[in-house]
Structure 1
């Protein structure tokens, strides 16, 4: 029985040919993202901005526009309503009222009374209040988690490989996270703890792909001592292409099902992961790998002191009288 091959063994795509164009695209995306974040900011959810979140089950599916209008007439701030799991369960988000805990209790009682009169039989399943102090702590904790994850993984690559690889991985992470934050600033999708989880997943996914390619690059640096760095990076990317495509297809199928069939409450999380797969794959090939060129890495950069044995020498192509299965990953 023949195994299915997503990529032929003799695939030789010249990825690095477009690294100059990719550098311009990445620079423009980074500049636009930083500009959007600094001017428009992020649309923080209740987790980060503070406020009240109520989950209400209605007897009949309510009209969301009418419900939103009824809540806004209470003068408690702009209400955000959305379906939660089904069309009869509604998630209501309200701004944090003044007056601390007493003010929050009064606001919740007012909402209960208004909904009870307008929608008989409505049942409040939960009422959660996030204070300004708690939301500030969540912001700090979320930012610290992203920072420590990026630094920790980059240090691992620095130690596991060489410092040039660590620099490339760190810049690739900065590239991915900044562009994702810029996307959320542009679309003003709600930015909450679910999105933080998606960003942490992005860091892990992007670095996993980067480590696989870096490991193949380091292996090829030892095998092909006389090959130029550009062709060697292309060779490494092509040798791991089968694994990359298989992983991405599996991820896209799962995320596509969540995106089409999942509840609205995880919409931002699913969309962030979907985009992360694309950004993470792009940055591995066109950000992390080209950094090795810009840092002047060559096949002689990591030779041990005292030289290498003649058996390890290669001539820039396949070694003589040896076969190499480039499809293995």
Structure 2
């Protein structure tokens, strides 16, 4: 059945417009952009965006809308910014700490605080897990660019149409973190997608889709396209100019000389991932911060985890990282 290009509907009471487009580098995947505009009590408009790429059209629509709902639930519209939240230690839930937004949100407080992760799911334990994985993924990316974490190739190069290709990387010690780097043989392009999942296979697929979605922003959309944040589009387009060559040279320094490793299908739990990436497991705290009809939203926090803001202050002489 042929699907409409523009789909309007409601998801958990939120009006959402979804569009899908044909990607010139990946014709077998549905790439979906969803957006909504909500107006607060002061009459201020708030825009929210969600993106997804899946083999199943309906799943792609659903994931992009869940992403919007997750962001709405975590936004000031949810009236959470001033409420104290009770975080529990992931290792020992009996250890708790009360935190205000200024203690864990960079935009509301100290740029040197640790990073956080958000996770939304219908099941509480999976929402919590997703939040922790997002936080750890951000930490790994900061360590790769701003510190001395080395990475190695995994799997083989994937050649795409129009002279594009993707190389995949992972941490030196086996973990389900994958970084997909999309380049072109003739053009200065350096677009990165990353993912941290329960296993390397899922992470590879997710990082691949993320890199291709970024490419779609300049291959398939105009700068006035309302399906994405204009500032984000501008930043991503800057990764497709000759200026990006310095970033690419610096990135290649981070790649070890070890031969490419093979993808394994081992399932990792949070403790195993922390051990593999040498992250102090005991510093992780989580909190269920919002529940709607179909989803529970969790936030994960660690004072140890790096953020872009913290890294930029500590290493101001380095170029800004290319990770969107």
TM-score range, shorter chain: under 0.3
* TM-score normalized by the length of structure 2: 0.22
Query: Which is bigger in relative contact order (C-alpha 8 A, separation at least 6)?
Result: 1
Q: Which has the higher strand share?
A: 2
Larger radius of gyration: 1
- Compare the two structures and name the one with the higher helix fraction: 1
